[in-house]
C-alpha cells in the first residue's frame, strides 16, 4: 500500500460542508479515495456528494468505521476538532488548514504524543498514494505511479519534482507534503522511517527549503537508520536572512539557523546526493537506480 | 509580528513583570516633559523593530533636562538599519548591579516551548551559550503542564543563582512564560533583566514576537500591522493577499507557491538577478494576477518577467487573462516568459501566446529561465 494511505483506507472528511471541503471531497472521490463519512458539528444528517455527514467523529467511527481523517476545518476550530479526532481513535490525520496558531499546534502535538495516531501538516497539500487515493488538495494529474517516495516541505515543489520525474519516465509510491509551518506534527525523520520500511518504495526524495532544522535531523536519521538511497533538493539558496519566504516556517533567523548551506552540508555529509535544481533530481535518482 | 519595545513593556506590566517607569514621545518637546515627570537621569531609546540600536546611537542616557530635547531630536532623526525612528521611549535610568537573560521561545523541531535562563545578560544569548555554556540553561516545557516555580527555581540553581536572585528571577521567568502563553508569543525575551544597586529587579528591555496566525484572538492589543512593513511594495503585496519581497535585481518573478518562488529565484540567480520574490498562494483569479503584475513591474529598471505557476487548485487560465490584460493596458514591452502547467494548461498557453508571452512547455524551471536569458541577450 506504500505508506500511510491506500485505496482501502476508510477516510473521513472533517469540515465537509464548507466550500473547500465540498469541492475537495468531490476531487478526492474522483481519484478513487474511499471516503465513507463527513463530519461538521451541527450538520449531522446531511449528505454531501453522496457521503453521510455526522455531528461527531465518534459517530463516523462507530457507524462507518472511519480510520483516517482529512481536515478542512477553519483554523480557530482545529484544536478542538483535533482532540476529538485523536480521542475517537483515528489513526491518520491530514491537516490541510493554514494559519493555525502555533500554540494550538503545540498543544495538539503534545496531546497526540504516545498515541497511535500519525498527523501530517498543518498547512499541507496532503498525502497521495499515487494511483490509489489522496487526502488533501494536491492536483492528481501531477503524479505518476512508481517506486519513489517523495517528502516535500513545499506543495508546488512536490508538483515540480513529480512532473520532472514523469518526464524522465519515473513515478512515485506516496507523496507527502510535510506542511509549511514552523512546527509540524510529523517530522522528516518519521517519514523517512516509514518509506525506508515500505516494500513499494525503492528510493526516497526529500524536497527541503530554508528554515528550521528538519533537514539536519533527517541527515542524522539517514546516517543511523536509512538503508535506501536518498536524493535531496533544497530550495532557497538565495533567500535573504530574516525574511519569511511565503511559508511561515521558511525563514532564516538572525541566529543563522536554517540556512540552505547548513542543510546541504548535513545531508551531503551522510552521503545524500544533492540536486542543484528540481530537474536534476531525475538524473540523481536514475544514477542510483542504475547502481542497484 | 514583532512588537516594539514599549508594546512589549506594556505586556510585561500586565503580566506582573516589573519595568522601569517609562513614557513614549514622538517629539523632542514631549520627551522633555516626560523626562521632567519621570525624573533624571533618563534613558532615551529609539523604538524600532531591529537590533543594533546602541551602535547606531539610538540609545542615550541623559543627565540634565537641557540635554533631553536635542538628544531626542537626534534620535528621532536617526535611521537604524534603514528604519525611521518614529517614537522614543523615555525611561527612568537605573544603576545596574547585575544582569541576567530570560527568554521563552518555540522549539520548532520538538514543537514545545523552550524556557531559557542565563546568569549573564546584556549581550547576545548565542554568544554566552557558545563562550560560557555553564551560565545558560534551557528547558523544554510541557505545554499542558506549564512552567512551575519549582522548575524555574531549579533552572536558577543550575546556573548558580542563590538567595534573593534565585527567588526573584524564578518568579519573573515564570511570569515571562505566562506572558508568552497568554499572548501567543513565539519569542518573549528580557535582555537584560537587572538587579539594581537598590536591590530592585527590572526588565530593561522587552522583545516579543507574536504569532501572526493568532492575531485574530488578540484584537485587544490593537497592533497595527501595516505600519510595521516599511517597504511600500511589500505592504501592497500584503494588502492584495500575496507574499512579496523586494530584492536587488531586475528580473521580476510571479510564482504560484512559496517553494516554486524560491526555486525560481535560485535558478534566475545563476545567470541573472531576481527583482523580487512573489508567491500568489492558492487564490489565483484574473483580478489577482492583474494586480500582481502591477506590483512586480512597479520597480524601476525591470528587464524581464518570469511566470511560474501550477494549475492545481489555481485556475491558471483565469490568471493568464489578468496578466495579458495588464500587458495590453500598460504597454508592457519587456520579455515575459511563462511556465504554466497542470489543469487548463493548453488554454493558458493559448491566452499567453496570443498576447506575446513566451510559453515554455518544458517541465523544468531551468528551461524557462534559459529562454528568458536568451530573449534578453538577443534584445527585442
CB B275 within 8 A of CB B252: yes
State which residues form the domain around B53. 21-92
Query: What confidence score (pLDDT) does residue B380 get?
Result: 47
What's the pLDDT tens digit per position in B267-316? 999 999 999 999 998 889 999 999 999 999 999 999 999 999 998 778 99
Do B213 and B268 lie in one domain? The reply is no
Three cell numbers written together for B313: 487548485
B282 in a structural domain: yes
Q: CA-CA-CA-CA torsion for A276, A279, A280, A286, nearest 10 degrees?
A: 160
What's the pLDDT tens digit per position in B179-199? 999 999 999 999 999 999 999
Query: What confidence score (pLDDT) does residue B157 get?
Result: 97
Q: Is the peptide bond before B41 cis (omega within 30 degrees of 0)?
A: yes
Query: Which residue, among A16, A20, A58, has the nearest Cα to A39 in the 3D structure?
Result: A16
Question: How far is the CA of B155 from the CAs of B49, B134, B136, B333, in angstroms?
Answer: 30, 12, 9, 64
Averaged pLDDT, B16-21: 98
Q: Does A68 touch chain B (CB under 8 A)?
A: no
A252: pLDDT confidence band, cut at 50, 70 and 90? confident
CATH number reported for the structural domain that contains residue B298 in this entry: 3.40.50.261
Query: What confidence score (pLDDT) does residue B379 get?
Result: 57
**The domain boundary residue, chosen from B168, B198, B221:** B221
Q: Is the peptide bond before B307 cis (omega within 30 degrees of 0)?
A: no
- At a CB cut-off of 8 Å and minimum separation 6, what does A60 contact? A12, A36, A37, A38, A39, A54, A66, A88
Query: What confidence score (pLDDT) does residue A264 get?
Result: 97
pLDDT at A255 over 80: no
**The domain boundary residue, chosen from B92, B107, B131:** B92
B7 in a structural domain: no
A238: pLDDT confidence band, cut at 50, 70 and 90? very high
Query: What confidence score (pLDDT) does residue B185 get?
Result: 98
Which residues from B are below 8 Å from A164, CB to CB? 363-364
Do B84 and B118 lie in one domain? The reply is no
Determine how many CB atoms are found less than 10 A away from the CB of residue B242. Answer: 24
Q: Does A162 touch chain B (CB under 8 A)?
A: no
Which residues from A are below 8 Å from B141, CB to CB? none
- At a CB cut-off of 8 Å and minimum separation 6, what does B166 contact? B153, B156, B157
B226 in a structural domain: no
This prediction's pTM: 0.95
Do B270 and B357 lie in one domain? The reply is yes
Do B238 and B317 lie in one domain? The reply is yes
Do B104 and B212 lie in one domain? The reply is yes
Query: What chain A residue is nearest to B114 in terms of C-alpha separation?
Result: A106
Do B326 and B265 lie in one domain? The reply is yes
User: Domains (ranges, CATH) in chain A?
Assistant: 1-123 (3.40.50.720), 143-292 (3.40.50.261)
Averaged pLDDT, A106-131: 96
Count of pairs with CB atoms under 8 A, one residue in A, one in B: 173
Average pLDDT taken over every residue of chain B? 94
B30 in a structural domain: yes
pLDDT at A1 over 60: no
**The domain boundary residue, chosen from B92, B119, B136:** B92
B9 in a structural domain: no
Do B367 and B247 lie in one domain? The reply is yes
Cross-strand partners of A70:
A13, A94
Q: Does A170 touch chain B (CB under 8 A)?
A: no
Do B196 and B261 lie in one domain? The reply is no
Do B145 and B206 lie in one domain? The reply is yes
Do B163 and B207 lie in one domain? The reply is yes
Query: What percentage of chain B exceeds 90 in pLDDT?
Result: 84
Name the residues of A annotated as catalytic: 247
Which residues from A are below 8 Å from B281, CB to CB? 246
What's the pLDDT tens digit per position in A50-59? 999 999 999 9
DSSP H or E stretch at residue B191: strand B185-196
Q: Does A156 touch chain B (CB under 8 A)?
A: yes
Which residues from B are below 8 Å from A106, CB to CB? 106, 111-113, 143
- For A103, the closest of B211, B243, B343 (CB atoms) is B211
Give strand ranges (E) for chain A: 11-14, 35-39, 47-48, 51-54, 68-71, 92-95, 118-120, 126-129, 133-136, 145-152, 172-177, 203-209, 230-235, 273-275
Do B279 and B291 lie in one domain? The reply is yes
**Choice among A191-200, B17-26, B308-317 with the minimum mean pLDDT:** B308-317
Task: Quote the ipTM score.
Answer: 0.94
Kindly report the three-state secondary structure assignment for every residue of A77-128.
HHHHHHHHHHHCCCCEEEECCCCCCHHHHHHHHHHHCCCCCEEECCCCCEEE
B133: pLDDT confidence band, cut at 50, 70 and 90? confident
Query: Which residue, among A121, A289, A141, A261, has the nearest Cα to A205 in the 3D structure?
Result: A289
B278 in a structural domain: yes
If one counts the domains in chain B, the total is 3
- At a CB cut-off of 8 Å and minimum separation 6, what does B377 contact? none
Do B78 and B201 lie in one domain? The reply is no
pLDDT at B175 over 90: yes
CB B334 within 8 A of CB B352: no
**Choice among A7-11, A169-173, B37-41, B223-227 with the minimum mean pLDDT:** B223-227
Query: Which residue, among A145, A135, A190, A136, has the nearest Cα to A165 in the 3D structure?
Result: A145
A28: pLDDT confidence band, cut at 50, 70 and 90? very high
Amino acid at each position: 500500500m506504500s505508506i500511510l494511505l491506500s485505496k482501502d483506507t476508510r477516510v473521513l472528511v472533517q469540515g465537509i460542508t464548507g466550500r473547500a471541503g465540498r469541492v475537495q471531497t468531490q476531487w478526492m472521490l474522483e481519484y478513487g479515495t474511499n471516503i465513507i463519512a463527513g463530519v461538521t458539528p451541527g450538520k449531522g444528517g446531511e449528505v454531501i456528494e453522496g457521503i453521510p455527514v455526522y455531528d461527531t467523529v465518534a459517530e463516523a467511527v462507530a457507524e462507518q468505521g472511519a480510520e483516517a481523517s482529512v481536515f478542512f476545518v477553519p483554523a480557530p476550530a482545529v484544536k478542538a476538532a483535533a482532540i476529538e479526532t485523536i480521542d475517537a481513535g483515528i489513526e491518520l490525520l491530514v491537516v490541510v488548514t493554514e494559519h493555525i496558531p502555533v500554540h494550538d499546534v503545540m498543544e495538539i502535538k503534545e496531546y497526540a504524543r504516545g498515541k497511535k495516531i500519525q498527523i501530517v501538516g498543518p498547512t499541507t497539500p496532503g498525502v497521495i498514494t499515487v494511483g490509489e487515493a489522496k487526502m488533501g488538495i494536491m492536483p492528481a494529474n501531477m503524479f505518476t505511479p512508481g517506486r519513489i517516495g517523495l517528502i516535500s516541505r513545499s506543495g508546488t515543489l512536490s508538483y515540480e519534482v513529480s512532473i520532472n520525474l514523469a518526464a524522465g519516465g519515473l513515478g512515485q509510491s506516496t507523496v507527502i507534503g510535510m506542511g509549511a509551518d514552523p512546527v509540524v506534527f510529523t517530522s522528516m525523520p518519521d517519514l523517512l522511517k516509514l518509506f525506508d520500511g515500505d516494500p513499494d518504495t525503492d528510493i526516497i526524495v526529500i524536497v527541503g527549503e530554508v528554515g528550521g532544522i528538519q533537514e539536519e535531523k533527517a541527515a542524522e536519521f539517514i546516517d543511523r537508520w536509512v538503508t535506501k538511497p536518498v536524493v535531496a533538493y533544497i530550495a532557497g539558496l538565495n533567500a535573504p536572512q530574516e525574511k519569511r519566504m511565503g511559508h511561515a516556517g521558511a525563514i532564516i533567523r538572525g541566529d543563522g539557523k536554517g540556512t540552505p548551506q547548513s542543510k546541504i552540508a548535513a545531508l551531503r555529509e551522510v552521503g545524500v546526493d544533492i540536486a542543484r535544481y528540481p530537474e536534476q533530481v531525475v538524473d540523481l535518482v536514475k544514477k542510483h537506480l542504475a547502481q542497484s | 509580528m514583532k512588537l516594539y519595545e514599549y508594546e512589549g513593556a506594556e505586556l510585561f506590566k500586565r503580566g506582573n513583570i516589573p519595568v522601569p517607569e517609562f513614557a513614549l514621545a514622538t517629539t523632542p518637546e514631549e520627551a522633555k516633559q516626560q523626562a521632567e515627570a519621570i525624573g533624571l537621569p533618563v534613558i532615551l531609546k529609539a523604538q524600532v523593530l531591529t537590533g543594533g540600536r546602541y551602535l547606531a546611537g539610538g540609545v542615550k542616557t541623559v543627565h540634565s533636562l537641557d540635554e533631553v530635547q536635542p538628544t531626542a531630536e537626534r534620535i528621532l532623526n536617526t535611521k537604524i538599519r534603514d528604519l525611521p525612528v518614529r517614537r522614543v521611549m523615555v525611561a527612568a535610568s537605573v544603576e545596574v548591579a547585575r544582569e541576567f537573560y530570560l527568554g521563552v521561545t518555540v522549539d520548532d523541531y520538538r514543537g514545545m516551548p523552550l524556557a531559557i535562563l542565563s546568569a549573564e545578560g546584556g549581550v547576545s544569548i548565542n554568544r554566552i551559550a557558545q563562550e560560557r555554556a555553564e551560565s545558560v540553561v534551557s528547558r523544554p516545557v510541557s505545554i499542558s503542564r506549564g512552567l512551575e516555580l519549582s522548575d524555574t527555581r531549579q533552572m536558577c540553581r543550575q546556573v548558580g543563582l542563590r538567595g534573593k536572585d534565585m527567588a526573584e528571577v524564578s518568579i519573573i521567568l515564570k511570569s515571562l512564560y505566562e506572558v508568552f502563553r497568554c499572548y501567543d508569543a513565539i519569542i518573549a525575551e528580557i535582555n537584560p533583566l537587572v538587579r539594581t544597586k537598590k536591590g530592585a529587579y527590572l526588565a530593561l528591555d522587552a522583545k516579543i514576537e507574536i504569532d501572526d496566525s493568532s492575531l485574530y484572538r488578540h484584537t485587544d492589543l490593537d497592533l497595527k500591522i501595516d505600519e510595521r512593513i516599511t517597504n511600500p511594495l511589500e505592504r501592497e503585496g500584503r494588502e492584495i493577499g500575496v507574499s512579496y519581497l523586494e530584492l536587488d535585481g531586475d528580473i521580476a518573478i510571479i510564482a504560484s507557491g512559496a517553494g516554486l518562488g524560491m526555486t525560481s529565484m535560485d535558478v534566475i540567480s545563476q545567470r541573472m538577478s531576481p527583482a523580487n520574490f512573489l508567491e500568489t498562494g492558492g487564490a489565483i483569479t484574473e483580478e489577482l494576477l492583474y494586480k500582481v503584475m502591477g506590483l512586480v513591474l512597479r520597480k524601476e529598471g525591470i528587464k524581464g518577467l518570469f511566470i511560474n505557476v501550477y494549475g492545481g487548485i489555481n485556475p491558471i487560465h483565469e490568471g493568464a487573462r489578468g496578466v495579458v490584460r495588464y500587458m495590453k493596458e500598460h504597454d508592457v514591452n519587456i520579455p515575459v516568459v511563462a511556465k504554466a502547467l497542470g489543469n487548463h494548461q493548453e488554454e493558458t498557453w493559448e491566452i499567453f501566446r496570443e498576447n506575446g508571452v513566451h510559453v515554455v512547455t518544458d517541465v523544468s524551471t531551468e528551461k524557462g529561465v534559459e529562454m528568458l536569458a536568451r530573449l534578453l541577450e538577443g534584445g527585442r
